Amino acid sequence: MTELMGAEAEMRDALRRLRADGVQRLGERVRELSAGWAALQPRRPWDDADRARLGELAASAHRLAGAGGTFGFPALSKAAAPLELLLLGLRDTPAPGGDRLRQAGAQVAAVAAAWEAGPAGAEEDGADPGQASPAEHGEPIFLFAEAEEQAMLSAVIANLGYSVRRASEREVLEGALPEGPLSAAVIDDAVPDPLAVCARLAGRCPLILLAEDSSFENRLAAARAGVEALVAKPLEVNELADWLDHFAGGRAETRYTIVIVDDDRLLAAAYAMALRQAGMQVTSVSDPAQAIEVIAATAPDLILMDLQMPGIDGIELARVIRQTRRHLSLPILFLSAEQDTERQILARRLGGDDFIPKPVDLDRLVTLVRLRAERARALRAVMESDSLTGLLNHARFKERLGLELERARRHGTTLSLVIFDLDHFKSVNDTHGHLVGDRVIRGLARSLQKRLRRTDVIGRYGGEEFAALMIGTGPEEARGIIDHLRERFAAASFETEGGSFGVTFSAGIAGNAPGGAGPEGGAEAEAMISAADAALYAAKRAGRNRVMVAPA
Amino acid sequence: MSPGGEALSRILYVEDDHDVRKVATFALKAVGGFVVEPCESGQQALEKAAGFAPQLLLLDVMMPGMDGPTTLERLRALPAIAGVPAIFMTAKVQPQEVSRYRALGTLDVISKPFDPMTLSATVRAIWAGRDD
């Protein structure tokens, strides 16, 4: 053991020396870059030799971007990457404008500042060297359980849509840990000394303990061992699912989508790079005339817009965007070199939410965008979703129905509306209480989310009523899918202290009129809802627990 | 362990930046226990490849002279290297870039900067998933 530790200490020592060399060279490169940039300024307009020099500086920036984080300077990497882009852009622009030059100058300064700020703290050091987030790559859930339990639990987790990495027999016996990234670990307390296992895994990834004993003492002991979630046995799958989604599933959804509208492609590319480094999804538009279309197609969380563009004023464009009701609460950030406060006030009044002065401090840009997008999304979620299930609420669902019908009409595609109703739900509430009733509601919401496609739209229509829009799916095909879902849901059982019980649902389906032959506008949506409702009623009358399609 | 069965040992690593090459080589050897042949250029990789008989190629994308994709293409033209899987390392990871590299028949792209302590685990995970 001590020998092993000695070898590891030696290894870390050697690595430290290599890092020190690397760090020294980073400093030299940063100084060369700053000096090189400064020397080029009085030489404008640049000749071919100067442009070649810009190319060399860009190569330096590239190396800083590639090496900074490896040697403990992740912020230096982040600042150098857009600088490389800007320098290459300047090299290839015959007569670069003031905005580009100032942005590049600001970025050279940002690189120097990131170097001056020193290496990242021990915590940050290497914690986020790349942008890979576990969920994106579907890092597995580590399952630590004895053989008998393992097969069952592994099936449960896989069924929830996560990849599972099972602990081997040896790992269980020795409490050994797997290599590589994990998005969460599920530990069954039937393994030998489960809390010791937790303590060893703590810090690697979030820990979920399945515990026979859910007393306060045991919860406290688990918390001390680094357990973040304790699920009492017998296992309630929904509860485990909620935790897994919380730890491993949430990331992809929290990726913000940003649209940049700027006629200067180079600057837009630099802003986009900084935002992408922070894990956001970015689409750039250089022609303001196309902005509306792109915004409609990407449904962004925020718009970043240049205030001064040829042909159209940013303020005007903001007003056009605000003409669409759905975009009333969409945050718009203006980029502006303008000092004129009068105009800034005007821009705010007409729809801008904030100003970012040019040249842009990319760090600040990322922070501002994230804060604004976060708040806008939280507000929208509250406004649009049902609080119990997180599905779209009634009003929002009907709005989507109208939009999707319009789209289907334009493209000549099919879609089906399904309305679900839980059978005898009142007796579930009466017998088991509302808390159990809520669990059933969430259970159906979850199976809809899991079994339907991501592009399908799902809403909670009322108390025990749900609705789904199946895009590109005709009523007969929808019937097959929903009927399968019905069988699975009916076969599942809900556990309570008083024993287990099952719940069924009935569903009615209606398709849109083929070839856009139906009534225009809102009337088609209403007609579809009535037809699906009538089919649902027919299903109920025919004995419940079945799916019926409305006659075309 | 991996479905492909064969355990990864020999890695040919091409990186022009001296410091990065040093650290990564050391980390792959000491942390990952791999046998690593470091090369400072595509040209050097071409000279060493056949004799080293690598199981995996690890290539920096942007290098002066011969860049990563060109190096890969020329390496693959060598009969001994034709079927050897490759991983690119790059500081500029844009979505379209990754799909372009994948189209060149690479297993994955590792974004730079990387953390030397976890580099081996990343390589191993990509290697284990290569048959998916």
In a domain, B49, yes or no: yes
Please identify, in words, the CATH class of the domain defined by A394-549: alpha beta
Classified as helix, coil or strand, A311 is coil
Lowest mean pLDDT among A127-141, A180-194, A361-375, B111-125: A127-141
**HSE on the CB side for A222, CA within 13 Å?**
24
CATH 1.20.120 fits A13-116, yes or no: yes
> What is the model's pLDDT at position A462?
84
- Optimal mutation site among B17, B21, B29, interface A, most CBs of chain A within 10 A: B17
Cα(A136)–Cα(A159) distance, integer angstroms: 18
**HSE on the CB side for A14, CA within 13 Å?**
17
Tell me whether residues A74 and B113 touch, CB distance under 8 A. Answer: yes
Please give the average per-residue pLDDT across A324-336, as a whole number. 85
Q: Is A239 assigned a catalytic role?
A: no
In sequence order, what are the beta bridge partners of A283? A259
Cα(A362)–Cα(A79) distance, integer angstroms: 8
Run of H or E residues at A457: strand A457-460
> What is the model's pLDDT at position A260?
97
> What is the model's pLDDT at position A250?
47
Lowest mean pLDDT among A184-193, A249-258, A493-502, B78-87: A249-258
Through-space distance between the first and last CA atoms of chain A, rounded to whole angstroms: 75
CATH 3.30.70.270 domain position(s) in chain A: 394-549
Specify which of A361-375, A424-438, A444-458, B34-48 reaches the highest per-range mean pLDDT. B34-48
> What is the model's pLDDT at position B110?
87
Cα(A23)–Cα(A69) distance, integer angstroms: 10
Cα(A11)–Cα(B116) distance, integer angstroms: 12
Asked whether the predicted pLDDT for residue B120 surpasses 50, the reply is yes
> What is the model's pLDDT at position A504?
96
A129–chain B nearest CA distance, Å: 5
B41–chain A nearest CA distance, Å: 15
Strands in chain B per DSSP E? 10-14, 35-39, 56-60, 86-90, 108-111
Cα(B5)–Cα(A453) distance, integer angstroms: 35
Asked whether the predicted pLDDT for residue A148 surpasses 70, the reply is yes
Domain with B43, as residue range(s), is 10-128
> What is the model's pLDDT at position A39?
96
Tell me whether residues B111 and A70 touch, CB distance under 8 A. Answer: no
Asked whether the predicted pLDDT for residue A126 surpasses 50, the reply is no
A230-271 residue pLDDT tens:
998 888 777 787 788 777 764 444 578 899 999 999 999 999
Whether cis (ω within 30° of 0) applies to the bond prior to A178 is no
Asked whether the predicted pLDDT for residue A127 surpasses 80, the reply is no
Alpha-carbon distances, residue A341 vs A102, A369, A447 (angstroms): 21, 22, 53
ipTM computed for the complex: 0.83
Cα(A141)–Cα(A157) distance, integer angstroms: 8
Residues of A in contact with B91 (CB under 8 A): 62, 65-66, 77, 81
CATH 3.40.50.2300 domain position(s) in chain A: 134-253, 257-384
Confidence of residue A506 (pLDDT cuts 50, 70, 90): very high
Of A126, A130, A180, nearest to B117 by CB-CB distance is A126
Structure tokens at A178: 């797997």
Tell me whether residues B113 and A67 touch, CB distance under 8 A. Answer: yes
Please give the average per-residue pLDDT across A129-140, as a whole number. 44
Tell me whether residues B121 and A15 touch, CB distance under 8 A. Answer: no
In a domain, B50, yes or no: yes
CATH number at residue B90: 3.40.50.2300
A140–chain B nearest CA distance, Å: 11
Residues of B in contact with A179 (CB under 8 A): 121, 124-125
> What is the model's pLDDT at position A308?
85
Average pLDDT, chain A: 85
CATH superfamily, region A257-384: Response regulator (3.40.50.2300)
A392-437 residue pLDDT tens:
888 889 888 988 888 888 788 899 999 999 999 999 988 888 888 8
In sequence order, what are the beta bridge partners of B110? B89
Which of residues 72 through 131 in chain A touch B, CB cutoff 8 A?
74, 77, 81, 84, 126-127, 129-131
> What is the model's pLDDT at position A130?
35
> What is the model's pLDDT at position A517?
62
B34-93 residue pLDDT tens:
999 999 999 999 999 999 999 999 999 988 889 999 999 999 999 999 989 999 998 866
Please give the average per-residue pLDDT across A321-345, as a whole number. 82
Strands in A109-169 per DSSP E? 141-144, 164-166
Q: Cβ–Cβ contacts within 10 Å for residue A343, how many? A: 14
> What is the model's pLDDT at position B93?
60
pLDDT greater at residue A55 or residue B108: A55
Asked whether the predicted pLDDT for residue A191 surpasses 50, the reply is yes
Residues of A in contact with B30 (CB under 8 A): 11, 14-15
Residues of A in contact with B18 (CB under 8 A): 25
- Output the furthest CA–CA distance in chain A (Å, rounded): 86
Asked whether the predicted pLDDT for residue A503 surpasses 70, the reply is yes
A99-115 residue pLDDT tens:
999 999 999 999 999 99
Q: What are phi and psi of B9, to 5 degrees?
A: -135, -50
Cα(A364)–Cα(A154) distance, integer angstroms: 44
> What is the model's pLDDT at position A145?
87
- Output the furthest CA–CA distance in chain B (Å, rounded): 39
- Optimal mutation site among B8, B23, B31, B123, interface A, most CBs of chain A within 10 A: B23
Please give the average per-residue pLDDT across A190-196, as a whole number. 88
Please give the average per-residue pLDDT across A70-85, as a whole number. 91
In a domain, B1, yes or no: no
Asked whether the predicted pLDDT for residue A518 surpasses 70, the reply is no
Q: What is the count of residue pairs from A and B with beta carbons less than 8 Å apart? A: 99
Tell me whether residues A67 and B121 touch, CB distance under 8 A. Answer: no
Residue A161 zone, left/alpha/beta (φ > 0; ψ -120 to 50; rest): left
Tell me whether residues A69 and B17 touch, CB distance under 8 A. Answer: no
Q: Total domain count for chain B?
A: 1
> What is the model's pLDDT at position A175?
67
Cα(A268)–Cα(A284) distance, integer angstroms: 7
A292–chain B nearest CA distance, Å: 24
Q: Which residue of A has its CA nearest to B89?
A: A66
CATH superfamily, region A134-253: Response regulator (3.40.50.2300)
Catalytic residue among A84, A139, A404, A464: A464
In a domain, B69, yes or no: yes
Cα(B14)–Cα(B45) distance, integer angstroms: 7
Tell me whether residues A71 and B30 touch, CB distance under 8 A. Answer: no
